[in-house]
């Protein structure tokens, strides 16, 4: 990282995600990383990561059980949702008809894979837009995906991907961002995206 002061990052401990790979990826970039569900810790962080693995209903239940659901709406620092964590930023999901956090105005729908296997699992290319999260990321860069539900393109879309249909590989508005792929499992390109997240202006 270019800054002399390492960024303090809190990964929200939802209890339902594989947090270690995200944590190690951030540590390799020089960040100070804490895994926590303490609202004071989360609010005091320079950056917040919302991870997620599994289903939307289970993810929302984990947020409620962890006691951080209300805290999410109070955050003003950069926040990055990863995979299911991105989807949880939306309003609703067709998966289990789940009501989500409502922090961003989108709905998650079953991916129309045009006969291809679901989940969409493995490496695929993205087309990034002009956003600090994707600074230095070339069109056609490969990233690692695992998902069956997706977010349609909209004014929130920061990057696109195609698998049967074109969908949002990343979304964002203001301090809230989400990526459908797993940057921590996407090699140097994923590391660069995480570094951009750490270095973008607060």
- Are the CB atoms for 147 and 50 separated by under 8 Å? no
Q: Which of 16, 95, 147, 184 is catalytic?
A: 184
Residues near 80 by beta carbon (within 8 Å), at least 6 away in sequence = 47, 48, 49, 50, 133, 177, 178, 179, 197
Within 10 angstroms of residue 196's Cβ, the number of other Cβ atoms is: 17
Q: Which of 16, 83, 108, 161 is catalytic?
A: 83
Q: Which of 108, 147, 161, 182 is catalytic?
A: 182
Helices marked H in the chain: 20-28, 39-43, 56-66, 69-72, 84-87, 187-199
> What are φ and ψ of residue 8, in 5° steps?
-90, 115
Is 184 designated active site?
Answer: yes
Residue with tokens 């289990």: 96
- Cα–Cα distance, 168 to 17 (Å, whole number): 22
Catalytic residue numbers, as ranges: 83, 182, 184
């Amino acid at each position: 990282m270019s800054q002399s002061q390492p960024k303090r990052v809190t990964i929200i401990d939802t209890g339902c995600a594989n947090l270690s790979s995200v944590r190690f990826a951030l540590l390799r970039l020089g960040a100070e990383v804490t895994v926590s569900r303490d609202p004071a810790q989360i609010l005091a962080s320079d950056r917040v990561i919302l991870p997620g693995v599994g289903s939307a209903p289970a993810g929302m239940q984990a947020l409620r059980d962890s006691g951080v659901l209300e805290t999410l709406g109070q955050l003003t620092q950069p926040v990055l949702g990863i995979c299911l964590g991105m989807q949880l930023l939306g309003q609703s999901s067709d998966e289990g008809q789940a009501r989500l956090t409502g922090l961003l105005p989108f709905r998650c729908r079953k991916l129309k894979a045009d006969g291809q296997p679901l989940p969409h699992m493995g490496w695929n290319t993205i087309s990034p837009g002009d956003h600090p999260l994707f600074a230095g990321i070339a069109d056609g860069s490969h990233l690692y995906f695992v998902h069956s539900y997706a977010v349609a393109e909209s004014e929130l879309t920061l990057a696109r991907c195609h698998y049967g249909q074109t969908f949002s590989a990343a979304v964002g508005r203001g301090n809230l961002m989400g990526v459908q792929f797993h940057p921590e499992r996407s090699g140097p390109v994923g590391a660069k995206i995480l570094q951009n997240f750490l270095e973008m202006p607060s």
